[in-house]
Amino acid sequence: MPLTDVAIRRAKPSDKPQKLTDGGGLFLFLTTAGAKSWRWKYRVAGKEKLLVIGLYPDVTLAMARAARDDARRLLASGVDPGVQRKAAATARTGINPDSFEVIAREWLRGRQWVPVYKKKVEAWFENDVFPAIGARRAAELRASDFLGIARKMEERKAFESAHRVMQNCGQVMRYAVATDRAERNPVADLRGALVPSPEKNHAAVVDPVQLGGLLRALHAYTGTPVVRAALQLMPLVFVRPGELRAAEWAEIDLDAGLWSIPASRMKMRQPHIVPLARQAVAILQTLKATFPTDYAGPYVFPGLRSDARPMSEVAVLAALRSMGFDKDTVTGHGFRATARTLLDEVLGFRPDIIEHQLAHAVKDPNGRAYNRTTHLVERTRMMHEWADYLDLLRTGNVVALRPDQGA
């Protein structure tokens, strides 16, 4: 039976690699770590061969089928698609088709990023990475090769960029593993080896072990129901504290699991949609049940002294401090940085999808702001997976980054 988008999204890793067949030799290969790659099985002179098409979801089901059909036409004309791809890669770069640069450029072509950000990442690779290791086979690279690149960036005080470049290198190496051109991702071994960025904005917890402890503390908070609900909801929705504090029931559709924030309350003055996972809906339903039946105030989190005003802007901070979390450990705004980091580095969501959900100014190729429903299906999936991941951290079932994750 041919695959469907729903079946692909629902496919989960197991203790053995899986092959999900679509038809015509095309199948989706699912690793034990959760990576999904499209592959096409074909024969040349009676010998079975394999063509790796690309990673899902960067390569959609429709795109994979189109690539399979193109490859079949090449094969029918007497051209081996695998040989043709390697020859084309070599012609473009003049280097080995299994080299880090060739693999990185393949990976970059699959990124559906906004042009400005994609250009920035490409510049990092061309200026800092390719001159050092671009011509070498990805399978031969070691952690020390990547550390050398990071150290040179640190020498010029580009600490934050060094972290981002190593994260991207880790994603390239994971792609190399998924496409059978490397055995493992050595960038994962750099965890903790890079110089921390001296820049400090809003304090945030980005270590999974520490985050699990923080989440347990939030759920054990015994203060007022309003503040308790706000504390538990903040990591799930990672909106700005002022946006959460002033939330109104009229904006929230619990049945649909959507929170629509009007432009007037958004920093960028653009309306914003926050998909609500089942955990977020349950928190709001529990909170609503604590209100008197005749409550007529508009606010989800009303003030302690007046229903006509939202809760104090210091209420959440005061609760965090009462639990022993100082300003250098966590802030209400810091949950946004927590989500941005772990959604990218652990759950592997595209940076532009994350930026959309953070309500940052992401532009289309013509320089126009995307509307609030852009990537809503993918954002909804992301918010549900994020909530499930937080549950795993809170219950202690996940305590660290997976070993296949990049630095």
> In 258-305, which residue ranges form alpha helices assigned H by DSSP?
278-290
CB 404 within 8 A of CB 33: yes
Nearest to 176 by CA among 164, 188, 163: 188
Pairing verdict, β 36-44 and 18-23: unpaired
Q: How many helices (H) and strands (E) are present in the chain, helices listed first?
A: 16, 7
Task: Identify any residues that bridge with 52 across adjacent strands, giving them in sequence order.
Answer: 39
Check if the beta carbon of residue 272 is closer than 8 Å to that of residue 266: yes
Please identify every residue annotated as catalytic.
Answer: 240, 267, 333, 336, 360, 370
> Rounded CA gap, 89 and 162, in Å?
28
Kindly tell me the burial class for residue 72, based on how many C-beta atoms sit within 10 Å of its own C-beta (0-12, 13-18, 19 or more): middle
SS3 403: coil
Distance CA 159, CA 151 (A): 9
- Nearest by Cα to 386 from 233, 185, 170, 173: 233
Nearest to 406 by CA among 108, 239, 165: 165
Residue with the two structure tokens 């699990």: 212
